Structure 1
Amino acid sequence: MSFAHFAKVFNDPEVDLEDDVWAKKTGARWDREFHRFIRDVTESSVFNFIIMFTIVCNALCMALETDISIRESGKDLFHILDELFLAVYTIEFIMKLYAEPKGYWFSSYNLFDFAVLVISYVQIILVLMNAGGSGLAALRILRALRTLRTLRTVSFIRGLQVLVTALLDTIRKSVLNVVGLLLLLMFLFGIMGYYFFGYKDDADKQNWGSLDKAMLTLFSYVTVDGWTDIQESLDNYNMDGSRIYTIFFIFLGHFIFSNVMIGVIIMNISEATENYAAEQLAEREAALKHKKEFLLQRQHNEVKQMLEKQRRGKYSNFHEMVQEFEDTLRHDDFAVVSDISTNLIWLDTLLTSLDHMDNSMFRVQQLHFELCGALSQMLDEKLRAKYGT
């Protein structure tokens, strides 16, 4: 990887540092540079912002179209805007498909976007064919399905993706079992309710007259919505034991099964949120590691270049070379803690050692002074003894 490529990565953090590995995997392309440019564009935050802005504007237009007066007065404008939104979605699809011809189809969010795009084009085809009868009914359904475009915001917001994925996984793995057991319980209680409260001629046929009516009534018990009216109707028919039946099923269906379902969903969403936070931390650490590696490589290259210039005699002295190296340093450069010169423990040990060296030097100097004083005194005594004073 060249220095110019490192510089590009440093100036644009969104660029992947593993472009060379990616190039080896995708193979050589005659349009490699343009393909990389399109891939960088589709992964940029500006591109995502444009698509998100388009989705929001499209949602507002669909909301305004629900007003009859606004829809009639701005019919042509809404048609032009709808064509414009569809053009933006089409361009997005083409660019993403060109950037990742195979990987595009492995994302469930991309498949959902493609399905919404196909629905929009089917609607246009039906309009151009002037379909009548069943075609108009299908057209109304397709127009109603245009609201699915607003759900495309999920594919651009990572937090929503985590929640939706956790919810779908919960439904697929756990909630279906709970719902199946609840339906079985409703089936059993529905049959019992039919024979208890709807089998006789003078029974409550409106709520318990058949199995489907009984299960619909039990669903009201599960949601505890309007169950008092149903119980009042049973009381009017003088159904003995109806209150025990109602209370027992509400206890099982609402207080147990509903809360179990909610608890399972909350646990899975909490686990998914924790995993998402861990992934974000790992991504930040990986990005920081890549930037540190780049900074080390850049500094090593600059030192090599300056040493080469020094060897060729470009600098008059070493101080000039160091001064130029200092000018290349930036205030946002990372300090690589793995280097011994920036390790805090090593620096503290070095400073402590220097203090000890100063103390030892001071004591050695004092010892030298005392030694010199003792030698001078001995010399004076010998001179006095020899020559006398």
Structure 2
Amino acid sequence: MVRLCRAVAESALFQFTILAIILFNAVLIGVETYDGVVQRHAGPLHAANLAIQVIFLVEIAVRLLACAPRLHRFFLDGWNVFDFTVVALSLLPAAGPAATVARLARVLRVARLVSVSAELRLIVATMLRSIPSMLHVITLLTLLLYVYAVIGLHLFRAEDASHWGSLDRAVLSTFQMLTLEGWVEMQQAVIDTHPWAWIYFGSFIIFGVFVIVNLFIAVVLNNLDAAKDEQRRSQDRDRPEADLLRQMAALREQIEALENRLRAR
């Protein structure tokens, strides 16, 4: 039984089926936002939701049994804990005090798409790994925005109060410039009075967009390579253990078969 569950859990067909069910669940959640559809097709929608819930329960049971006899290994993986929690919360009744949690769990079932896809898991791991380095870049970016906002406030508030009339507006304007949205119009509004304003705007675009934003990209790419290397090492480390478990399971079956033959004699 354990060997069968392990084979099923590791099969591509099983993973593809769960992926298809998650996508179908996402479509179902979107359909249920239309009141008219819910009223006309309440029965089929309820049956579909119930079927999805049963399939997810069977999936979790299969993956748990695949880790037997050491079931605790299932909960050592954060994504397994996430899947288990979402499926468990979806068992709460859709009415009463727990209704909000149950509806939230149904929406979170869509997020299980990340746990099913190895590529999406790698991206999430990269994002989490990038947070410490990004904090330094964010600090540098905040300093840049603040300095340029104060300079812009003192230089341009008389000509363009809508963008530079106060510190909060100036900070918002510099952040808007960071997205390359409307910075040309801001420059045109003050260029007649301050012909050298292009130095201010040009330098901000160079340092804010071309340097700082590319630093974010560099941090993510660097951590993506690190996450790929770690994933590769983890797979290489788990492969011998998985092979050993299969060999032990096959040996156990052979021993049981031999014991049955001896008893028959």
Tell me whether the two structures share a fold, i.e. TM-score over 0.5.
yes
| AA at the equivalent of 1:213 | R
SS in 2 for 1:128: coil
SS in 1 for 2:181: coil
**Which position in structure 1 is the counterpart of 2:127?**
167
Verify: 1:264 aligned to 2:264, yes or no: no
Cα distance change of structure 1 residues 209 and 73 upon mapping to structure 2, 3 Å threshold: farther
How far off its partner does 1:282 sit?
6.8
Cα distance change of structure 1 residues 39 and 72 upon mapping to structure 2, 3 Å threshold: same
Gaps of 5+ in 1: 1-33, 132-138, 298-389
**Which position in structure 2 is the counterpart of 1:59?**
26
**Which position in structure 2 is the counterpart of 1:216?**
172
**Which position in structure 2 is the counterpart of 1:18?**
none
Provide the rounded CA distance (Å) in 2 between the counterparts of 1:282 and 1:213. 54
Equivalent residue runs for 1:213-292 within 5 Å: 213-235=169-191, 238-239=193-194, 241-277=196-232, 280=235, 286=240
Provide the rounded CA distance (Å) in 2 between the counterparts of 1:150 and 1:56. 7
Provide the rounded CA distance (Å) in 2 between the counterparts of 1:203 and 1:120. 57
Gaps of 5+ in 2: 252-265
How far off its partner does 1:214 sit?
1.9
Q: Is the 8 A contact 1:41 1:47 kept in 2?
A: no
Provide the rounded CA distance (Å) in 2 between the counterparts of 1:104 and 1:280. 16
Identity of aligned residues (%): 27
Q: Is the 8 A contact 2:91 2:102 kept in 1?
A: no
Q: Is the 8 A contact 2:9 2:63 kept in 1?
A: no
- The Cα offsets for residues 81-131 of structure 1, whole Å up to 9 and x where unpaired, read as 223323433444456567565334432212332453466456x45x33598
Provide the rounded CA distance (Å) in 1 between the counterparts of 2:190 and 2:209. 20
Q: Is the 8 A contact 1:38 1:95 kept in 2?
A: no
How far off its partner does 1:208 sit?
2.2
| AA at the equivalent of 2:136 | N
How far off its partner does 1:75 sit?
3.5
**Which position in structure 1 is the counterpart of 2:147?**
188
Provide the rounded CA distance (Å) in 2 between the counterparts of 1:79 and 1:204. 57
**Which position in structure 2 is the counterpart of 1:318?**
none
Verify: 1:128 aligned to 2:93, yes or no: no
Q: Is the 8 A contact 2:87 2:105 kept in 1?
A: no
- The Cα offsets for residues 260-298 of structure 1, whole Å up to 9 and x where unpaired, read as 2112212322343355456556767x49986xx99xx9x
The one of the two structures with greater contact order (alpha-carbon pairs below 8 A, sep at least 6) is: 2
- Indicate which of 108, 117, 120 corresponds to 2:78: 108
CA RMSD, aligned part only? 3.9
Verify: 1:74 aligned to 2:41, yes or no: yes
